[in-house]
Amino acid sequence: MGGMRDVIGGSLISLVVIGVLALLAGLVLPFLLKRKGQSLSGRDIGLGFGGALAVLALGGVGLAVRPASPANAGDNAATLSSVTSTVPAAPYDVESYVYTDSFVGGIKVAQIRAIVTGDDRNRWAATIIAISQAAHDAGAESVKVTLLRNISRDVPDVLRELAHAYYNPVPNRSVWNDKTLWAIFVAQPGHIADDRTIAINQAYHEEYRKLIRTRPAADPKKPDPQKAAPKREEWAADQARRTIAARFRLPADWKLWGGNVNDSRDRFNPDSISIDRKPVADRLKELKECMSNVLSDEVKHCP
């Protein structure tokens, strides 16, 4: 509401100024144009009136093309590169982390897996950025954070993942392929595996593992799929696909879920938001305290 009042107030002031200028143009311009020693002619009055209209027209155009600002952008605010919104980080729990300096050059690397709830993409991004920066505050020079859905840990990451980020706050001390300061990828809320997709993928992998362990009936006319691992795996994958397609009534060309996050289309610009860390201030403090312990290659948990 405050932003709207500012917009209305600014527009009214602009209109008043334009009106005053138009009035002055209408009154003064005829006297400037009249011939010396003669009274005002219709031509001079007409030119004055035309000047007033010109001032009003130019002023109207100026208001119409005025660049949008956070206060007057309305629904377009999210598309403006110069406009950022404050987004609160979402509550999270650290599922596990590794903080080690075993890489070449003794680079201190943190890899953190965190669980979060909710379906707001900006909040996912705010959370993953806040966690990454907290890890750097604890001493990490190269950071990777993976944000996961709060569902069973038996579900593979490809179905749980909501976002991942690579953070390289120390120049030339990165172990990731992307050496930029930030590489953040956040899933679109409409492209998250649903319960049916999870059930299909879980059933497929269960069937595949069962087939890998089970030797098929011998057929002297066909090569034994168990003789070569690649052939056995191809056979098991094909059989599992057919079985699951029939069980779930899927089309013949169905495919396994490719993942919630697509790096080619889901890159997130960290400059598009500012972060409110208050909702997770205690959790960020706990993470830094956990990481203040001795560096280790072991997977650890942060209460």
| CA distance linking residue 274 with residue 126, whole number of Å | 8
Q: Which long-range contacts (CB under 8 A, 24 or more apart) does 80-85 make?
A: 81/272, 84/271, 84/272, 84/273, 84/274, 85/122, 85/272, 85/273, 85/274
Residue carrying structure tokens 């090569």: 223
| CA distance linking residue 100 with residue 139, whole number of Å | 11
Domain residue limits, the chain:
2-79, 86-193+260-300, 195-248
| CA distance linking residue 77 with residue 64, whole number of Å | 17
Return the pLDDT at 10.
Answer: 47
**Residue 98 · residue 300 · CB < 8 Å:** yes
Return the pLDDT at 3.
Answer: 41
For the domain spanning 86-193+260-300, the CATH number is 3.10.310.90
- Strands laid side by side in the 182-186 sheet: 267-268, 182-186, 161-167, 142-149, 109-116, 92-100, 296-300
Read off the tokens for 282.
């205690």
| CA distance linking residue 121 with residue 98, whole number of Å | 26
Burial 138-148 (b: 16+ CB within 10 A, else e): bebbbbbbbbb
Return the pLDDT at 231.
Answer: 80
| CA distance linking residue 167 with residue 133, whole number of Å | 8
Averages of pLDDT over runs of 10 residues in the chain (303 residues) are: 42 45 47 49 48 46 38 30 77 96 94 93 97 97 97 94 96 88 95 95 95 68 57 89 95 92 95 96 96 89 86
Question: For the chain, how big is the Rg over CA atoms in Å?
Answer: 32
**Residue 140 · residue 109 · CB < 8 Å:** yes
| CA distance linking residue 7 with residue 112, whole number of Å | 44
**Residue 118 · residue 150 · CB < 8 Å:** no
**Residue 104 · residue 94 · CB < 8 Å:** no
Burial 200-227 (b: 16+ CB within 10 A, else e): bbbebeebbeebbeeeeeeeeeeeebee
Return the pLDDT at 214.
Answer: 82
Read off the tokens for 181.
């300061």
pTM value surpassing 0.75: no
Return the pLDDT at 56.
Answer: 44
Going from the C-alpha of 132 to that of each of 93, 164, 195, the distances in angstroms are: 14, 10, 30
